Amino acid sequence: MTHYDNCLKEMFGLHRFGIKLGLDVIGNMLDGLGNPQEKFACIHVAGTNGKGSIASALSSILIAAGYKVGLYTSPHLVRFNERICINNAQISDDGIVDAYEAVKAVRKGDREPTFFEYTTAMALYAFGKAGVDWAVIETGMGGRLDATNIVTPEISIISNISVEHRTYLGNTLAEIAGEKAGIIKQNVPVVTATRQKSAVQVIRNIAAERGAPFYRLGEHFRIRRHRSNGYSDAFSYSGIDHQWKQMRTVLPGAHQAENAAVVLAACEILMRRHPGITSEAILAGLANVSWPGRLEILPTRPEIIIDGAHNLNAAHRLADFLRDYARNRPVTLVFGVLDDKPYPAMLRALVPLADRVIFTRPKIDRSLPAQKLLSESRLMTASAEIIEDVGEAVTLAIRETNPEHVICIAGSLYVVGEAKETLEAMALDRAS
C-alpha cells in the first residue's frame, strides 16, 4: 500500500467521528498551519442545489481572467483528489500526502476532527502553498457552523433553499435559511436565487444586520429564457450594472440558466474591484464549465444520463429534463439513495418515467436498502428489480437496454461515483 493509500485510509477512518458542526476545531487546525486562508481572496458558496455548478463556473471565469484559482467541492465521485483542484486540475497524489501530513502535525483541539474538517484544512493549506490568487469554496452542510465558514470571502452566494438535513439544519425553510445565511459576513455582498418568502426574509434580515449588500434573482437581476435544446439553455441577463444578451450555458438543464444568472451577478459585483474580470473572461469561462455527475450525458449506445439528483428538488429537475430529452425513447432507471432523503417522493417523481427500474445500493453506510425502494415503488411500476451492487446494476442495464433507448443513473452522488468507476473500467477494457 502506497503512502497516498495509507493517508486516504486514515482520512476515511475519520468518518467514525460522524458529523460535528462548529468552527473551534477547524480554527485550531488552521492556526497551526499559519492560517493559509488569509493568503488569497475567496468566494463562498452555499445552498441546497446548484452550489457545485456555480462554484465550478466561477472558478472557470476567474481562470479565464488570468488568475490562479483553487476550487474546493464535495463529495468526490471517483477519486478523493477531485475535491481539491487548482486551475481545474486535480491535486496530485503527492499533494494529498503533503497536505495530509501538514494537517496531521498540528494541534486539533479538544476532540478529533471529522473527515470534512480534515479535508477542508487540507484544501486551504494546499491553496496557500500553491499561491492561488482566488479560492472558490463550496460548503459541505448548511453554512453557519460548516467548517468552510472559517473563511472571510469577498462575496457570499446562497444558491437556493429547500428542506434538507433536518437533523442538523432545522425543520422549516426559515430555520434552514438561517443556517445557510450564516456564511454572510460583515459588509460582504451576498447573492442568492432563493425564492420562498420565509427563506428570503431570513437571508435579507441577516444581510441587513451585518451591513451586507443583498442581491436576489428576480429582484435585483433577472433572466429571460430563450429556446432550450436539452443540452443548453439560452437566455438574456439584465443585471446590476450590465446587460448581456444571448448568453448560453453549456451545462444541460433549464435550471442552469438560474445558476448562471447567480454567477453573472457575482461577477458584476467583483468587476467593481477587479478590472481583470471582464465580459470576455465571463463568456470564455461560462463556455468552459464542466461539472461531472450532474446531468452528465455520455454519448454511448445506449445513451447514459448520470445525475446525482440527491434530493427532491433535484429529482424534479431531473424528471423535467428526462421528459424533454428522452421524449419517446424508453428509459431504464438505475436508482439508489441515502437513508436520510425523502425517497418516496423522489420515486414518485422519477419511477413513472421509466420503462424499467433497477434499484441498487451504494457502499456508504448511510445508504437505503434497495428492498425498501422496491416495496415503496410497487404501485408505480410493474417492471422493477434489485441488483444491490451498483457496478453490477450498471453493467446489467447496459447489457440489456436497447442501443436506441436511454439509461438514467440517479438518486445519490455515491451511486454516481460507483457507476462512473464501472463505466471507466468498461472503457479501459474496450480500449485494451
Quote the pLDDT of residue 230: 45
Quote the pLDDT of residue 17: 66
Quote the pLDDT of residue 20: 76
The one-letter amino acid at 220? H
Going by CATH, does the domain composed of 296-431 fall within 3.30.200.20?
Answer: no
Quote the pLDDT of residue 365: 85
Quote the pLDDT of residue 167: 59
CATH number of 3-286: 3.40.1190.10
Residue (of 135, 88, 128, 324) closest to 229 by Cα position: 324
Residue 285, phi then psi, degrees to nearest 5 = -65, -45
Q: Which residues pair with 71 in a beta bridge?
A: 85, 136
Residue pointed to by grid coordinates 425502494: 373
β strands within 8-160, DSSP E: 41-46, 69-72, 84-86, 89-90, 134-138, 155-158
Distance CA 317, CA 312 (A): 9
CATH 3.90.190.20 domain range(s) in the chain: 296-431
> What HEC string does 308-369 produce?
CCCCHHHHHHHHHHHHHHHCCCCEEEEECCECCCCHHHHHHHHHHHCCEEEECCCCCCCECC
Query: What does the block give as the cell for 90?
Result: 486535480
Quote the pLDDT of residue 164: 62
Quote the pLDDT of residue 427: 77
pTM of the model: 0.91
- Low-confidence spans in the chain with pLDDT less than 50: 229-231
CATH 3.40.1190.10 domain range(s) in the chain: 3-286
Distance CA 74, CA 119 (A): 10
Query: What does the block give as the cell for 232?
Result: 443548453
Distance CA 122, CA 137 (A): 13
Quote the pLDDT of residue 431: 65
Quote the pLDDT of residue 219: 96
Cis ω before 302 (30° cut-off from 0): yes
Q: Which helix (H) or strand (E) holds 187?
A: none
